[in-house]
Amino acid sequence: MTDNPTTPSSSFRYRVAINRFGVIVLILGLGSACLVYGIGDARSAKPPAVPSADGSWQDDTLAPQDSKKAMRDIELYYGKIGVLMEKWLALTESLKRPESMAMLIAAASTLTAAGCFLVARRVPLEHFHK
Protein backbone atom coordinates (compact mmCIF):
# COMPACT_ATOMS: atom_id res chain seq x y z
CA MET A 1 0.00 0.00 0.00
CA THR A 2 1.19 3.48 -0.80
CA ASP A 3 -1.18 5.32 1.54
CA ASN A 4 0.30 8.12 3.55
CA PRO A 5 -0.02 7.32 7.29
CA THR A 6 -1.30 10.83 8.04
CA THR A 7 -4.10 10.79 5.48
CA PRO A 8 -7.48 10.99 7.23
CA SER A 9 -10.08 8.38 6.46
CA SER A 10 -13.16 9.10 4.39
CA SER A 11 -15.38 8.94 7.49
CA PHE A 12 -13.24 11.62 9.13
CA ARG A 13 -13.57 13.87 6.06
CA TYR A 14 -17.33 13.21 6.03
CA ARG A 15 -17.53 14.13 9.72
CA VAL A 16 -15.63 17.38 9.17
CA ALA A 17 -17.83 18.27 6.18
CA ILE A 18 -21.04 17.75 8.18
CA ASN A 19 -19.68 19.84 11.05
CA ARG A 20 -18.73 22.64 8.64
CA PHE A 21 -22.18 22.51 7.06
CA GLY A 22 -23.74 22.78 10.54
CA VAL A 23 -21.62 25.82 11.37
CA ILE A 24 -22.54 27.49 8.06
CA VAL A 25 -26.25 26.81 8.61
CA LEU A 26 -26.05 28.19 12.14
CA ILE A 27 -24.21 31.36 11.13
CA LEU A 28 -26.42 32.05 8.11
CA GLY A 29 -29.62 31.27 10.03
CA LEU A 30 -28.82 33.46 13.02
CA GLY A 31 -27.59 36.23 10.73
CA SER A 32 -30.79 36.03 8.67
CA ALA A 33 -32.89 36.10 11.84
CA CYS A 34 -31.11 39.24 13.02
CA LEU A 35 -31.56 40.82 9.60
CA VAL A 36 -35.28 39.98 9.45
CA TYR A 37 -35.79 41.31 12.98
CA GLY A 38 -33.84 44.49 12.32
CA ILE A 39 -35.56 45.30 9.04
CA GLY A 40 -39.00 44.42 10.39
CA ASP A 41 -38.44 46.37 13.60
CA ALA A 42 -37.37 49.45 11.68
CA ARG A 43 -40.42 49.27 9.40
CA SER A 44 -42.93 48.68 12.17
CA ALA A 45 -41.73 51.37 14.57
CA LYS A 46 -44.87 52.90 16.03
CA PRO A 47 -45.15 56.43 17.32
CA PRO A 48 -45.75 56.74 21.07
CA ALA A 49 -49.32 56.65 22.32
CA VAL A 50 -50.98 60.05 22.36
CA PRO A 51 -54.10 61.20 24.10
CA SER A 52 -57.25 61.31 21.98
CA ALA A 53 -59.43 64.37 21.53
CA ASP A 54 -61.45 63.60 24.68
CA GLY A 55 -58.28 63.34 26.79
CA SER A 56 -58.24 59.55 27.21
CA TRP A 57 -55.31 57.42 26.14
CA GLN A 58 -55.76 54.98 23.29
CA ASP A 59 -54.19 51.58 23.58
CA ASP A 60 -54.21 49.47 20.43
CA THR A 61 -52.44 46.46 21.95
CA LEU A 62 -55.69 44.54 22.54
CA ALA A 63 -57.40 43.48 19.36
CA PRO A 64 -61.21 43.49 19.34
CA GLN A 65 -61.19 39.70 18.88
CA ASP A 66 -59.33 39.31 22.19
CA SER A 67 -62.16 40.57 24.35
CA LYS A 68 -64.45 38.13 26.13
CA LYS A 69 -67.52 39.78 24.64
CA ALA A 70 -66.26 39.33 21.10
CA MET A 71 -65.40 35.66 21.72
CA ARG A 72 -68.80 35.10 23.30
CA ASP A 73 -70.51 36.65 20.27
CA ILE A 74 -68.47 34.52 17.87
CA GLU A 75 -69.31 31.39 19.87
CA LEU A 76 -72.98 32.36 19.91
CA TYR A 77 -73.16 32.95 16.14
CA TYR A 78 -70.71 30.34 14.82
CA GLY A 79 -70.22 27.83 17.63
CA LYS A 80 -66.96 26.36 18.86
CA ILE A 81 -65.65 26.02 15.31
CA GLY A 82 -65.96 29.78 14.88
CA VAL A 83 -63.90 30.37 18.03
CA LEU A 84 -61.25 27.91 16.84
CA MET A 85 -61.11 29.56 13.42
CA GLU A 86 -60.76 32.99 15.04
CA LYS A 87 -57.87 31.75 17.18
CA TRP A 88 -56.24 30.15 14.14
CA LEU A 89 -56.48 33.42 12.20
CA ALA A 90 -54.97 35.32 15.14
CA LEU A 91 -52.09 32.83 15.24
CA THR A 92 -51.37 33.18 11.53
CA GLU A 93 -51.43 36.96 11.89
CA SER A 94 -48.97 36.84 14.78
CA LEU A 95 -46.58 34.72 12.68
CA LYS A 96 -46.36 37.55 10.16
CA ARG A 97 -44.68 39.85 12.69
CA PRO A 98 -40.91 40.25 12.29
CA GLU A 99 -40.23 39.04 15.84
CA SER A 100 -42.05 35.78 15.20
CA MET A 101 -40.39 35.25 11.84
CA ALA A 102 -36.95 35.91 13.32
CA MET A 103 -37.59 33.44 16.13
CA LEU A 104 -38.75 30.78 13.65
CA ILE A 105 -35.68 31.28 11.46
CA ALA A 106 -33.33 31.17 14.46
CA ALA A 107 -35.00 28.07 15.89
CA ALA A 108 -35.00 26.23 12.56
CA SER A 109 -31.35 27.00 11.88
CA THR A 110 -30.33 26.04 15.42
CA LEU A 111 -32.19 22.73 15.21
CA THR A 112 -30.75 22.00 11.77
CA ALA A 113 -27.21 22.78 12.94
CA ALA A 114 -27.70 20.68 16.07
CA GLY A 115 -28.89 17.82 13.87
CA CYS A 116 -25.78 18.16 11.71
CA PHE A 117 -23.52 18.13 14.77
CA LEU A 118 -25.31 15.06 16.14
CA VAL A 119 -25.05 13.20 12.84
CA ALA A 120 -21.35 14.10 12.56
CA ARG A 121 -20.74 12.86 16.06
CA ARG A 122 -22.44 9.54 15.34
CA VAL A 123 -20.44 8.85 12.20
CA PRO A 124 -18.14 5.99 13.13
CA LEU A 125 -14.68 7.47 13.17
CA GLU A 126 -12.18 5.09 11.74
CA HIS A 127 -8.62 5.62 12.75
CA PHE A 128 -6.12 7.09 10.38
CA HIS A 129 -4.78 4.72 7.77
CA LYS A 130 -1.87 2.72 9.02
- Beta strands in the chain, from DSSP E residues, in sequence order: none
Q: What average pLDDT does the segment 113-129 reach?
A: 81
Q: Is the pTM of this model over 0.95?
A: no
Beta carbons of 9 and 121 less than 8 angstroms apart: no
Alpha-carbon distances, residue 121 vs 16, 19, 25, 108, 116 (angstroms): 10, 9, 17, 20, 9
pLDDT tens by residue, 17-48: 999 999 999 999 999 999 999 998 777 666 55
| Spatial separation of the C-alpha atoms in residues 125 and 117, rounded to whole Å | 14
Other C-beta atoms lying within 10 Å of the C-beta of residue 50:
7
Q: What is the DSSP string of 117-130?
A: HHHHHHS--PPPP-
Q: What's the pLDDT tens digit per position in 49-91?
A: 555 566 665 556 666 666 778 778 888 888 888 888 888 888 8
Q: What is the pLDDT of residue 126?
A: 64
pLDDT of residue 34: 95
pLDDT on residue 124: 80
